[in-house]
Amino acid sequence: MPRCEAYSSRLRKGERAIDRLRDCVTGMTELRTERLTLTGVVPEDAAFILELLKDPGWLANISDPGVRNLEDARAYIEDRLSKSLWLVARDRSSDPVGIYGLVDRKGLPHPDIGYANLSRHAGLGYATEGATVLLHHAMHVLGHKVILAITKPHNVASRRVLEKIGLRFLRTVQLPGHDRHWVLYTTQIEEAAGANGVGT
Ligand SMILES: CC(C)(COP(=O)(O)OP(=O)(O)OC[C@H]1O[C@@H](n2cnc3c(N)ncnc32)[C@H](O)[C@@H]1OP(=O)(O)O)[C@@H](O)C(=O)NCCC(=O)NCCS
């Protein structure tokens, strides 16, 4: 089962892949919604990841990680995506829509839920549908007590998705290594108050 081996190998290197490895051990290598199938991101997904990282929506709202070719994309998957992100598609044989997942982020005391679609799949309710099952999995299967999310203040589509899946705006924060401000959302206002970012 290659997706599980990737998580075991990350864990052996001392990296945090425990949530996804636990999913593998318990057989949770796939999450499903009415329209979507979520599976782990693997190096074989490099062509799609390269396209996603060049998408105007990604570049405007997330970052440019400097991934320019398939080799870069494979390395980016190994280093950044394979331990926590899910590839989202209508089904296993169709082209992927985007990647969603939980990220451990410096300055945040709880996992950060995130999602990104190719622009041509926007406005179809996919992010809301996929993030809903991911949130349920995080809280009721993995046992996380609080889930956070950060997004750029002007990212109205992302903020709307967070509200639709039940997160609430907590405050504006600045995180270590970032000079910009983010809006911070949480599943539980009281317990998330310890987030280390500099509140404004
Ligand atoms: C954010 C993103 C994942 C949303 O995906 P999606 O599948 O289109 O989201 P959904 O269709 O589930 O919901 C989008 C909601 O935002 C609303 N929306 C979208 N653009 C909007 C705008 N400019 N102004 C107001 N509302 C807007 C939609 O109407 C919808 O709300 P509704 O169901 O109440 O009508 C997608 O736009 C994307 O990939 N953006 C680039 C990457 C990104 O920003 N990721 C988040 C980083 S934190």
Q: Given a cut of 90, is residue 135 above it in pLDDT?
A: yes
Q: Given a cut of 70, is residue 12 above it in pLDDT?
A: no
Residue 178 lies in a domain: yes
Binning pLDDT at 50, 70 and 90, where does residue 198 land? very low
Q: Is the CB of 114 under 6 A from ligand 1?
A: yes
Binning pLDDT at 50, 70 and 90, where does residue 29 land? confident
Closest to 81 (Cα-Cα) out of 109, 44, 106, 107: 44
Q: Given a cut of 70, is residue 9 above it in pLDDT?
A: no
In the chain, how many H helices and how many E strands?
A: 7, 8
Cα 18 to middle of ligand 1, angstroms? 30
Query: Tokens standing for 151?
Result: 């997004």
Arithmetic mean of pLDDT over the chain: 88
3-state secondary structure of 56: helix
Average pLDDT of the segment spanning 82-91: 92
pTM: 0.88
Q: Is the CB of 62 under 6 A from ligand 1?
A: yes
Average pLDDT of the segment spanning 43-64: 97
Q: Given a cut of 80, is residue 92 above it in pLDDT?
A: no
The predicted-structure confidence for 158-195, as pLDDT tens digits, reads as follows 999 999 999 999 999 999 988 899 999 999 976 555 55
pLDDT at 83: 83
Ligand 1: residue whose CA is nearest its atom 33: 125
Q: Is the CB of 157 under 6 A from ligand 1?
A: yes
The preferred substitution site among 161, 175, 178, 183 for testing ligand 1, maximizing ligand atoms within 8 Å of CB, is: 161
- Domain that includes residue 179, residue range: 2-194
From residue 177, give the alpha-carbon distance in Å to each of 39, 61, 123, 195.
Answer: 30, 17, 32, 15
Average pLDDT of the segment spanning 103-117: 96
Q: Given a cut of 90, is residue 21 above it in pLDDT?
A: no
Ligand 1: residue whose CA is nearest its atom 25: 156
Residue 200 lies in a domain: no
Residue 73 lies in a domain: yes
**Cβ atoms 172, 181 nearer than 8 A:** yes
For residues 75 and 61, give the distance between their C-alpha atoms in angstroms, rounded to a whole number.
22
Give ∠ CA 117-118-121 in degrees, rounded to 5.
Answer: 80
Residue 113 lies in a domain: yes
| Percent of the residues in the chain that have a pLDDT greater than 90, as a whole number | 74
Q: What CATH number did the domain enclosing 60 receive?
A: 3.40.630.30
Q: Give the residue, 200 or 75, on which the prediction is more confident.
A: 75
What atom of ligand 1 comes closest to residue 55's alpha carbon? 41
Domain count, the chain: 1
Residue 82 lies in a domain: yes
Of all helices (H) and strands (E), which one includes residue 159? Answer: helix 156-164
Average pLDDT of the segment spanning 85-105: 93
Residue 109 lies in a domain: yes
pLDDT at 1: 42
